A = this chain, B = another copy of it.
Amino acid sequence: MIDLPSWLQPDTPYLLGFSGGRDSVALLHHLTSSGFKNIIACHLNHQLRGEESARDERFVRRLETPFEIGQCDVSSYANEHSLSLETAARQCRHEFFERCASKYGTSLVLLAHHADDQAETLLFNLLRGSNGLKGMKEKTPIGKLTFLRPLLNVRRAEINDYIEQHDLAYCEDSSNQDNFATRNRFRHEVMPLLNDILDRDPVPALLRAAEQENPLKNVLEDFKLLDPQERLFLPTLRGLPEAIQKEALYRFLKKEEVSEISCDLINRSLTLLTPDGPPSVNLPGGLRLRRKESRLFISQ
């Protein structure tokens, strides 16, 4: 039995990213049999695997529930735009979902990523150097779309059980392709090795570690650091310990979509807090963080 999160609404229309693999097949089946009436299975044929891609598309065309199929020559797209296959595939899928969103009047896209995908992602990102345990979010707004992952707490084994219990047909997962080799090796080599060495399943420990809420996540709101124009209000900021001032500056720059927020940039921004410090600090992209009338804000 797969639990669905309470924020999923049976009458809301959703797009569903549908590869035809186990995970998306289980999610689609579970939703439609739980009374969800407006699910559109959206399948993009990446044209990366010849006959196998065509086979997957035929599988989708035989669905008894609504579907939408797109075609994209991901390989050519990657060459034209000098992108890796993985990045090209992601961009093509995004554009496809945007077309589906316009056609069906919903910006909500369900994805079937599950708890084991999440654990693999956490470990992969950690080791790739993303400064901590960064995983997938249940809700991710990107551009006009919002991606939703209702299965993030469901284990792969539960999905496999569900597929067996309901005797569902599915396509072999396309992520078994060479271009996803790194992620695949985490699944098929690293996780089983860790399980063997530790003599226990490493997934729950990883998920629990990542779930630790950052207590300073809402530092700007919690300490009422923004004025009505969303500028940083210095008299309040000055009353906080330095470690928290730094976190607030980081969150502020992030909110303002400053790219590449380095420790050095935070330290330089901190000098704006002293009244006789410099009146502005250079930011990447020709912008400046300025102090004026006891407020910090970004301008040219």
Contacts and interface: CB of A to CB of B under 8 A. Distances in A.
Interface stretch (A26-34, A62-70, A72-80, A189-197): A189-197
B198 A128 contact: yes
A293 interface: no
Interface in A161-189: 182, 185-186, 189
A241 B223 contact: yes
A54 interface: no
A48 to B, nearest CB: 22
Contacts of A189: 193, 197
A246 interface: yes
Contacts of A190: 190, 193-194, 197
Contacts of A284: none
Interface stretch (A86-94, A146-154, A200-208): A200-208
A127 interface: yes
Interface residues of A, number: 37
Interface stretch (A36-44, A211-219, A230-238): A211-219
B209 A185 contact: no
Contact of A197 (B182, B205, B246): B182
Contacts of A202: 127
A277 interface: no
Interface of A: 126-133, 182, 185-186, 189-190, 193-194, 197-198, 202, 204-206, 208-209, 212-213, 215-219, 222-223, 241, 243-244, 246-247
